[in-house]
Amino acid sequence: MSRPEEETLADLMRAHSSAAMRYASALAKRMGIETSELAALEHLQGAGPMTPGRLGGRLSMSPGAVTALVDRLEKRGHVERMPNPEDRRSALVRETEEGLGDSLEHLWPYILAMRVIEEGFTEEERRVISRFLRAATEATHRHAEELSRKQ
């Protein structure tokens, strides 16, 4: 491993990913849910309503496992099923206002801390960081899709 002054962006991304997973575990525990349930809420917040099948694909979960996960989140009031306007044979899962409120209540201190960090950068630095994070996120999604297809 390289010394801190020689850390590459990949090293820093790996360290950030590890910290994010640690934070997600602590956050899920604080919210009284499992990390897979927190991940589902994150996908719904980021991408909006989706079918259970699509959610299961994003989480690399079997249909039965994602149904059980959605049932648990629905029972706790975090999500709801609604008719799919594009295919009346299926349903969409979406986060409820109550679920979003609960998530934001726990996330707010972290959000504020991230805003303070962001304010420490110039507009040009934010553009470069944004470009890097978008590309890294796209690459991560692409590799997750490739791994999912190989199962």
Taking only the tens place, the pLDDT of each residue in 97-124 is 999 999 999 999 999 999 999 999 999 9
Q: 9 lies in a domain?
A: no
Structural contact between residues 141 and 149, judged by C-beta atoms closer than 8 angstroms: no
Stated pTM of the model: 0.85
Q: 39 lies in a domain?
A: yes
Q: Which alpha helices (DSSP H) does the chain contain, by range?
A: 9-31, 35-47, 52-59, 63-75, 97-119, 123-149
Write down the pLDDT at residue 145.
Answer: 85
Confidence of residue 53 (pLDDT cuts 50, 70, 90): very high
The predicted model gives 71-80 an average pLDDT of: 97
Estimate to the nearest angstrom the gap between the alpha carbon of 42 and the chain centroid. 4
pLDDT in tens, 131-142: 999 999 999 989
The predicted model gives 66-87 an average pLDDT of: 96
Q: 32 lies in a domain?
A: yes
Q: 99 lies in a domain?
A: yes
Structural contact between residues 60 and 148, judged by C-beta atoms closer than 8 angstroms: yes
Q: 131 lies in a domain?
A: no
CATH classification of the domain holding 30:
1.10.10.10
Residue 74 domain boundaries? 14-120
Q: In this predicted structure, which of 7-11, 19-23, 36-40, 124-128 has the lowest mean pLDDT?
A: 7-11
Q: Which residues pair with 91 in a beta bridge?
A: 83
Q: 111 lies in a domain?
A: yes
Q: 136 lies in a domain?
A: no
CA dist 37 and 84 (Å) reads 22
Per-residue tokens: 108: 């707010």
Confidence of residue 3 (pLDDT cuts 50, 70, 90): low
Tally of domains within the chain? 1
Q: 75 lies in a domain?
A: yes
